[in-house]
A and B are shown apart, each in its own frame.
Chain A
Amino acid sequence: MDGLDRFLHTFFNAEVAARYWPDIIAGMGVTAGVGILVSVTGLVLGLALAILRALQQPWLSLPIVAFVDIMRALPPLIVIIIFFFAFPLIGLSMSALTATWLSLSLVLAAYAEECIWGGMLSLPRGQWEAARSTGLTWWQTMTSVILPQAARIAVPPLTNRVIAISKNVALGSVVALSEVLNNAHSATSNAGNPTPLTMAAAAYLVIFIPVILAARRLESRWQWKV
């Protein structure tokens, strides 16, 4: 066998691929599914936190800021481990899927809150004053004037965060979540051949390239009309 053959036999082994592709597909489903769940939960929670913080009540803002700072400081892996291994000790057991979903959602919520809050803060006070002076309530001003503008500002950093956190679904392997990388890793050990890892890489491209393209379109569509 020459070098190229050996390379192909190692990383693109058709026999191994044929044997393990169902595992990879199943893992893809888990990765994509958890990724979507985490994105939706994290964004909704982050938005809610940003709105609560905008009420400017210290008893709300202080815990929110503390939560956000802690979640941004901790590596997501540690958060997953705490949820899965530590919470059962206080009587809160959860599945690998729940632990991964909750942990990553909270981490994303923290970043989303910062992005959206930053967007709100960057708007001039005059936006609030103009809306309130025409009789809009606080909530109407928030939903019709502040959030549409804050969202536009927050979209580019948010799309990056969503992509990053979705890739972190792979961290679920530490609690034996059957996501694509975990499955590929087991398959690689069983087969004694890394082809499943190549398949996992392909799976990631299949999942994330469309997401990245969609994010790019979203960003350009949400640019200011000038």
Chain B
Amino acid sequence: MSALPILELVGLHKAYGSLEVLRGIDLRVFPGEMVCVIGPSGSGKSSMLRCCNRLESFQSGQIMVGDADISRADVDINAVRQHIGMVFQQFNLYPHLTALGNVTLALRKVQGKTRAEADRLGMAALERVGLADKAQAHPAQLSGGQQQRVGIARAIVLQPKIILFDEPTSALDPETVGEVLKVMRQLRENGMTMLVVTHEMGFARAAADRVIFMDGGVIVEEGPPAEVFGAPKHDRTRAFLARYTGGHE
């Protein structure tokens, strides 16, 4: 990979009380890459993601977002968060705002854009996820897949350097999973950098540039999807994939 990493984790350790959930994570994500993180429940995938924008604190290690070291106490975390989008499993849309209101809130409150300017950018973002016609709908009026696409629009409207996805399709009905994955593929084609925790093995295999397998708070194995899925090096990876794919791999 060329250039400098957009996101770099060095020796990341995190514990909840005495429970160590991340035990030395080293990871770099480069511009334009889509990295998928897979692994069993409780392996620390969400915790790792949430450290990257400091929704969770961590005990030791370093996280660099571009040239900002977010482990430093004096970092302007709200400024850095403008550059890291996050998409949640439960969408977490604001129910009292319209789709457009959801997408434009940070533009207006954080970036100080006028309503007209924010609306223009917000509509463009909704357009990209195919929901321009739902701009005035409230989240309760949208299907799960549509809500998650609004969630993605809320992230991309800030033009982040990277977007973190935490199981973006796990709360969706099977029939709406596809529309969300399609939007993610389009983002990737347009060069968006993405770190995606997912249980959609088919998607990871087809769309990822790199796959990370986590277990027990460490990265056990990483590589191109063809290698990790086709010829896993570690027993733990093999055992995990066998459970997910019915042992055909």
Give chain A's interface residues, CB within 8 Å of chain B: 124, 126-127, 129-137, 140, 144-145, 148-149, 152, 224-226
**A124 and B78: CB pair below 8 A?**
no
A-B contact pairs, 13 of them (CB 8 A): A124-B92, A127-B94, A129-B88, A130-B154, A132-B81, A133-B53, A140-B109, A148-B96, A149-B96, A224-B140, A225-B138, A225-B141, A226-B138
For chain A, what secondary structure do more than half of its interface residues adopt (helix, strand, loop), or is it mixed?
helix
Give chain B's interface residues, CB within 8 Å of chain A: 53, 55, 78-79, 81-82, 84-86, 88, 90-96, 105-106, 109-110, 138, 140-141, 151, 154-155, 158
Q: Return the chain A residue nearest B94 by Cβ.
A: A145
Q: A130-B86, A130-B92 are in contact. List 7 more A-B contacts (CB 8 A).
A: A124-B92, A126-B91, A129-B86, A133-B55, A134-B82, A135-B106, A226-B140
Selected contact of B96 from candidates A124, A134, A152, CB within 8 Å: A152
**A136 and B90: CB pair below 8 A?**
no
Q: How many A-B residue pairs have CB under 8 A?
A: 72
Q: A225-B138, A226-B141 are in contact. Are A131 and B78 (CB under 8 A)?
A: no
Q: Return the chain B residue nearest A148 by Cβ.
A: B96
Q: Return the chain B residue nearest A140 by Cβ.
A: B109
Q: A133-B53, A134-B81, A134-B154 are in contact. Are A225 and B94 (CB under 8 A)?
A: no
Selected contact of A129 from candidates B55, B96, B109, B154, CB within 8 Å: B55
Q: Return the chain A residue nearest B83 by Cβ.
A: A135
* Residues from chain A with Cβ under 8 Å of B140 in the complex: 224-226
Q: A132-B81, A135-B158, A149-B96 are in contact. Are A124 and B53 (CB under 8 A)?
A: no
Q: Return the chain A residue nearest B53 by Cβ.
A: A133
* Residues from chain A with Cβ under 8 Å of B155 in the complex: 134
Taking the closest CB of chain B, its distance from the CB of A95, in whole angstroms, is 42
Taking the closest CB of chain B, its distance from the CB of A148, in whole angstroms, is 5
Greatest chain A CB density within 10 A among B81, B85, B93, B96 is at B96
